[in-house]
Amino acid sequence: MNDSLAVIERPQAANSTEFDAIVIGAGISGIFMLYRLRELGMAARVFETGTDVGGTWYWNRYPGARFDSESWTYGYSFSRELMQEWDWNEHFSPQPDTLAYLNHVADKFDLRRDMQFSSTVTAAHWDDAANRWTVTLESGEQAQSRFLCTAVGILSAHTMPKIPGVESFRGPAYHPARWPHIPVDFTGKRVGIIGTGATAIQAIPEIAKQAKQLTVFQRRPNWAAPLHNSKIGKAEMEAIKSRYDEIYAHCASTPMWFIHQADPRKTLDVPPEEREAFWEKLYAEPGFGIWLGNFRDIGVNEEANAAISDFIARKIRQRVKDPKVAEKLIPKDHGFGSRRVPLESGYFETFNRDNVLLVDTLNDEPIERIMPRGVKTSKQEHEFDILIYATGFDGVTGAFDRIDIRGTNGVRLKDAWADSPRTYLGMLAEGFPNMLMVLGPHTARGNIPQAIEHSVNFQTGILRFMQQHGYTRVETRPEHVAEWTETVIKAAEKLLSSKVDSWQTGVNRNVEGRSVRRVLGYNGHGVHFRRTTDQVATGGYQEFAFR
Ligand code: NA7
């Protein structure tokens, strides 16, 4: 941890278009990247589509939006002062608090003066002769830089459903990732929501409390488990603050950098009664424990997975009064934890309300089209005042695909990654010199802010090394890209999640060419990833080619 905000910043004219580094995105990644670039004395400019900082937490303002991870593990750890002065109000921070936190960080370190908002990057082209990037904004404005830092997020390219008539609905229609900045009033309204992923599972209970009628269009159900959120009192927050070193060190030792550590036992080695008692305990505890703190083989062994899936299914049957509705809410096509597990606050009980209707669009009532007044299914027309498309994102590579990024010889990143991304550590791509990716494909993720900090620290370590040696250009070496790509693909092979369609396996049928599964993340142990990056750094970055 390092508090020092250095240093030798190069003075930069306000209207300059020449930078040492351009950062795309002012979310958690872009904020921290800018902070570190400044420490290196680099002139940097952040371009951001939104009107302010926050990224995911700027856009996703839908009711119920909050962390599914413990707030006190989900902040930055680079500044002790920041950690000690910020009080989290809830164990799982609601979106407005998180956005306030990110604004606080931007203010504290005076970051906004190097950020340009309402500025969508549409293209970034590498000029091999000049050794620099030219970045183009939607406005036509251009800027140049030696380094391009992509801080575009893994879930920022939201997708609308491919349903005929989507544009024809007459009332207000929202995607949660483009939620209005003033709260939507659902009082007395008939509301339809399409999609039942993590987003909808947070939003549905909140909307149901207000709306006159809420109709949920579910294509495939998702397994979900209770969040058990609660407030954090003053004394508790002080106790957390006193343990931050210990908490972050513990997270760094777990597979996905969360507080949760898998139980070393194998599911079927544990007697059934003991298993049940363990699962009851996990189900009653806050957070991802039921998923990430479970027996170590639930994500790889079919039989073990069937046992935990059966336990969660029984919970759903207990919580949902109408057995037919309960059955519809229980996934049959994939096991518990093989897609990202949404955490919920009263989601299943919401279907016991008189004003909530579940429509199973896979088995009972396929959606045929969106109409001016609502949604037409094979059976009827459902009329609505408000429609919500909680239909997700083109995950991980989607945000890259939306920018015309071209590397050496004019090769487009989208073409280079058409079948599958190829990177070294998920941080540099072959043929794209001086492009540093935070949360790029094939990197370690899990606890996102901790992954971001690790990644930015490693990447700015490369930049520092370059400064020390007078290098101006860094590239991956093909053999290391090949080796890393193979490592990543191998690590995913044994996982049950690799056999399931989801944004994590790169499937989104609302996007052309995205119906085939791909490996998009590094699924090895977080400790292994840290060790690998540490070895590369201490070894003098020999895996990279410098000029
Ligand atoms: P998800 O988890 O990708 O969920 C999207 C949902 O939308 C899911 O239920 C989809 O059903 C449904 N969907 C998508 N397209 C359609 C169409 N065309 N028709 C009907 N239903 C559709 O996105 P979220 O925003 O909920 O969560 C994303 C991540 O954000 C989450 O994992 C957390 O990490 C935070 P399907 O399952 O494809 O049948």
DSSP state of 472: -
Take atom 3 of ligand 1 and give the residue whose Cα is closest. Answer: 392
Half-sphere exposure of 149 (CA within 13 A, CB side): 35
Centroid of ligand 1 to alpha carbon of 340 (angstroms): 11
Give 22 Cα–ligand 1 centroid separation in angstroms. Answer: 32
In the chain the first and final C-alpha atoms are separated, in Å, by: 30
Nearest to 99 by CA among 130, 54, 166: 54
Residue 459 near ligand 1, beta carbon < 6 Å: no
Residues whose CB falls within 8 Å of the CB of residue 519, separated by 6 or more in sequence, listed in order: 420, 442, 488, 489, 492, 498, 505, 506
Distance 2 CA to ligand 1 centre (A): 39
Q: Please, which residues have CB within 8 angstroms of residue 192's CB and are 6 or more apart in sequence?
A: 214, 215, 217, 374, 375, 382, 384, 386, 387, 388
424-467 per-position pLDDT tens digit = 999 999 999 999 999 999 999 999 999 999 999 999 999 999 99
Q: Is 355 in the pocket of ligand 1 (CB under 6 A)?
A: no
Q: Is 62 in the pocket of ligand 1 (CB under 6 A)?
A: no
Distance separating alpha carbons of residues 183 and 186, to the nearest angstrom = 9
Task: Please write the tens of the pLDDT for every residue from 246-270.
Answer: 999 999 999 999 999 999 999 999 9
- Residue 400 half-sphere exposure toward CB, CA atoms < 13 A: 30
Taking the CA of residue 220 as reference, the ligand 1 atom at the shortest distance is 39
Joined together, the tokens standing for residue 344 give 């919920």
pLDDT of 12 reads 56
Alpha carbons within 13 A on the beta-carbon side of 487:
19
pLDDT band at 2 (very low <50, low <70, confident <90, very high): very low
Mutate to test the pocket of ligand 1, among 391, 448, 509 (most ligand atoms within 8 A of CB): 391
CA 86 – CA 105 distance, rounded (Å): 10
pLDDT band at 130 (very low <50, low <70, confident <90, very high): very high
Burial level of 182, CB count in 10 A (0-12/13-18/19+)? exposed
Q: Does residue 544 surpass a pLDDT of 50?
A: yes
Name which of 387, 402, 531 is nearest 458 in CA terms.
531
C-alpha 195 to ligand 1 mean position (Å): 5
C-alpha torsion 69→70→71→77, nearest 10? -100
The pLDDT of 119-145, averaged and rounded, is 97
Q: Rounded CA gap, 521 and 427, in Å?
A: 12
Predicted pLDDT at 14: 55
163 lines ligand 1 (CB under 6 A): yes
Would you tell me how many other CB atoms lie within 10 Å of the CB of residue 84? 12
| Nearest alpha carbon, ligand 1 atom 35 | 198
Q: What pLDDT, on the 0 to 100 scale, is given for residue 520?
A: 97
The response to whether residue 178 sits with its C-beta less than 6 Å from ligand 1 reads: no
Please state, rounded to an integer, the average pLDDT across all residues of the chain.
96
Residue 40: pLDDT over 90: yes
Q: Confirm or reject: Cβ of 391 under 6 Å from ligand 1.
A: yes
Tell me, in angstroms, the distance from the centre of ligand 1 to residue 194's CA.
9
- What sections of 124-212 are H helices per DSSP? 198-210
Q: Whose CA is nearest to atom 12 of ligand 1?
A: 195
> How far is residue 243 from each of residues 97, 133, 280, 444, measured CA to CA in Å?
22, 43, 28, 25
H-run or E-run covering 217: strand 213-218
Which residue, judged by its Cα, is nearest atom 31 of ligand 1? 198
With H, G, I as helix, E, B as strand and everything else as coil, classify residue 400.
Answer: helix
Task: Give the residue carrying structure tokens 């939507």.
Answer: 184
Expressed in angstroms and rounded, the spacing between residue 391 Cα and the centre of ligand 1 is 4
Q: What is the amino acid identity at position 421?
A: P
Contact (Cβ atoms closer than 8 angstroms) between residue 214 and residue 355: yes
CA–CA separation, 500 vs 339, rounded Å? 7
Confidence of residue 5 (pLDDT cuts 50, 70, 90): very low
pLDDT at position 335: 98
Strand 121-127 to 132-137 pairing: antiparallel
Pairing between β-strand 173-174 and β-strand 386-389 as defined by DSSP bridges = parallel
0.85 cut: is pTM over it? Answer: yes
Mutating to test ligand 1, I would choose from 219, 378, 388 the residue with most ligand atoms within 8 A of its C-beta, which is 219
Residue 503 alpha carbon, nearest atom of ligand 1: 3
Q: Are 211 and 329 in contact (CB under 8 A)?
A: no
Q: Which residues contact 444 (CB under 8 A, 6 or more apart)?
A: 257, 426, 451, 454, 521, 522, 524, 526, 529
The rounded percent of the chain whose pLDDT value lies above 70 is 97
Confidence class of residue 8 from pLDDT cuts 50, 70 and 90?
Answer: very low
The mean per-residue pLDDT over the stretch 139-151 comes to 98
- Write the DSSP assignment of 274-342 as a string of letters: HHHHHHHHHHHSSTTHHHHSSBTTTTT-HHHHHHHHHHHHHHHHHH-SSHHHHHHHS-SSS-TTSS---
Contact 150, 440 (CB under 8 A): yes
Among 454, 462, 468, 417, which residue's Cα sits nearest to residue 435?
A: 462
Q: How many Å lie between the centroid of ligand 1 and the Cα of residue 470?
A: 47
Calpha distance 426→438 (Å, rounded): 8
* Domain span(s) for CATH 3.50.50.60 in the chain: 18-53+111-157+395-546, 166-256+300-389
**Ligand 1 contact, 208 CB (< 6 A):** no
Atom of ligand 1 nearest to the CA of 199: 26
Residue 6, pLDDT above cutoff 80 = no
Q: Is 190 helix (H, G, I), strand (E, B) or coil?
A: strand
Residue 182 has φ and ψ, to the nearest 5°, of -105, 140
391/389 Cα distance (integer angstroms): 5
209 lines ligand 1 (CB under 6 A): no
Q: What is the position in ligand 1's atom list of the atom closest to the CA of 392? A: 23
Q: Give exposure, 264-277, as e/b (b: 16+ Cβ within 10 Å).
A: eeebeebeeeebee
CATH number belonging to domain 166-256+300-389:
3.50.50.60
**Nearest alpha carbon, ligand 1 atom 25:** 392
Q: For 87-111, what is the mean pLDDT?
A: 98
In terms of CATH, what superfamily is 18-53+111-157+395-546? FAD/NAD(P)-binding domain (3.50.50.60)
How many other C-beta atoms are found inside a 10 Å radius of the C-beta of residue 66? Answer: 22
C-alpha 366 – ligand 1 centre gap (Å): 16
- For ligand 1, the distance from its centroid to the CA atom of residue 348, given in whole angstroms, is 17
pLDDT value of residue 16: 77
Q: Give the number of the atom of ligand 1 that is nearest the alpha carbon of residue 177.
A: 25
Q: Whose CA is nearest to atom 36 of ligand 1?
A: 220
Q: For residue 146, which amino acid is it?
A: R
Find the 333 Cα to ligand 1 centroid distance in Å.
Answer: 15
What is the pLDDT averaged over residues 8-30? 81
Atom 10 (ligand 1) nearest CA: 195
3-state SS class at 424: strand
Pocket test for ligand 1, best of 28, 199, 344 (most atoms within 8 A of CB): 199
d(CA 270, CA 311): 15
Q: How far is the CA of 358 from the centre of ligand 1 (A)?
A: 16
Q: What is the predicted pLDDT for the residue at 7?
A: 37
Residues 6+ positions from 140 with CB-CB distance below 8 Å: none
3-state DSSP assignment of residue 239 = helix
- Distance in Å, CA 501 to ligand 1 centroid: 11
pLDDT tens-digit profile of 325-356?
999 999 999 999 999 999 999 999 999 999 99
Identify the three-state secondary structure at position 28.
helix
Residue 37 CB–ligand 1 contact under 6 Å: no
The one-letter amino acid at 181 = H
